[in-house]
Amino acid sequence: MHPFDHATALDGAASDPLRSARASDRYWTFISPFGGVSAAIALRAVLEHPQREGDPLALTVNFCAPIAPGEFAVRTRLVRGNRSSQHWQVEFTQGEGAEPVLAASIVTAARRPSWSHPVSAPPPLPAWESLPAFPNRKSLPWVAQYEFRFAEGAMTLSDTVPEPPRSARSVLWLRDAEPRPLDFLSLAAMSDAFFGRIFQVIGRLPPFGTVSMTTHFHAAAEELAAHGSAPLGAIADARVFHRSFCDQTGELYGAGGQLFATTSQVAYFKV
């Protein structure tokens, strides 16, 4: 079993509104599991549900509190369904009677054929083989689960805060370190797999944590399946660092240059 499938596995019957999952050691970050894996668990609870129709269209994950090591309950609810879309909510709680540690909303929709017009283009990237692999083995556990090949904006730490601050933009290839065919679960996780922009901009690792992340999916299931386990072309950037919070945006492109997902998040930082 691939480490990602192990980390995102749910116990209990797929139709059960209350299932459980476990915080993954292998995707551990500073004080909690990697948020992308938590997002994927919420999405998996919906995608496995027998009432689910259509492909994921929108996912918002609110990280309410750190998830501690061990098990957590996963509560899934179909808020509203209609002919072409469904609105779901998922909450994680840890401990009897506790308040949620994570709350997500997920929209699924029928991706019917239509007029198509790709506005944005994939980033110009040298061949995967020609770029050095980011040294991911001495970092946090979750980082070692991905292979990053940066063409621009690789994170480098420095003793002093650069003046002016570095660019927040990164352009890279991104894939699971142990290759795995792309699906909506791994795409959701990879939409959170950009290093916090604050690290890159100031060259240090201050206290940091994503508060809310939204990912929009722009492809149908069979388009992701056709991509296979090739790396995704990715761009990450930020628009503002202000009053203890910053944003982060991302675009993820498939092998044929198709835009698969866009994402934006707000994160806390202390500098």
- Tell me how far apart the alpha carbons of residues 262 and 251 are, in angstroms, rounded to a whole number: 5
- Tell me how far apart the alpha carbons of residues 119 and 125 are, in angstroms, rounded to a whole number: 18
Instruction: Candidates 2-10, 53-61, 188-196, 224-232: pick the segment binding a copy of itself (CB under 8 A).
Output: 53-61
Nearer to a copy of itself, 56 or 147 (CB): 56
Q: Is 26 in the site for a copy of itself (CB under 8 A)?
A: no
Which residue in 1, 96, 97, 114 binds a copy of itself (CB under 8 A)?
Answer: 114
Which residue in 168, 185, 187, 190 binds a copy of itself (CB under 8 A)?
Answer: 168
Tokens 């909506």 correspond to what residue? 184
Pick from 4, 75, 79: nearest CA to 36 = 4
Q: Is 42 helix (H, G, I), strand (E, B) or coil?
A: helix
Helix (H) or strand (E) holding 244: none
Instruction: Candidates 10-18, 31-39, 43-51, 241-249: pick the segment binding a copy of itself (CB under 8 A).
Output: 241-249
Nearer to a copy of itself, 18 or 271 (CB): 271
Give the count of beta carbons closer than 10 Å to the beta carbon of residue 236: 24
Query: Is the alpha carbon torsion for 11, 15, 16, 19 positive or negative?
Result: positive
Pick from 56, 65, 58: nearest CA to 102 = 65
- Residues that bind a copy of itself (rule: CB under 8 A) add up to a total of 62
Residue 40: φ, ψ to 5°: -65, -35
Q: Is 5 in the site for a copy of itself (CB under 8 A)?
A: no
Which residue in 216, 226, 230, 255 binds a copy of itself (CB under 8 A)?
Answer: 216
Bridge partner list, 262: 216, 251
Q: Is 240 in the site for a copy of itself (CB under 8 A)?
A: yes
CB of 133 to a copy of itself, least distance (A): 28
CB of 145 to a copy of itself, least distance (A): 27
- Tell me how far apart the alpha carbons of residues 142 and 27 are, in angstroms, rounded to a whole number: 4
Contacts with a copy of itself by CB under 8 A lie at 57-58, 60, 62, 64-65, 79-80, 82, 84-85, 87, 89, 91, 99-101, 103, 105, 107, 109-120, 165, 168, 201-202, 211-212, 214, 216, 218-220, 237-245, 247, 251, 259, 262, 264, 266, 268-271
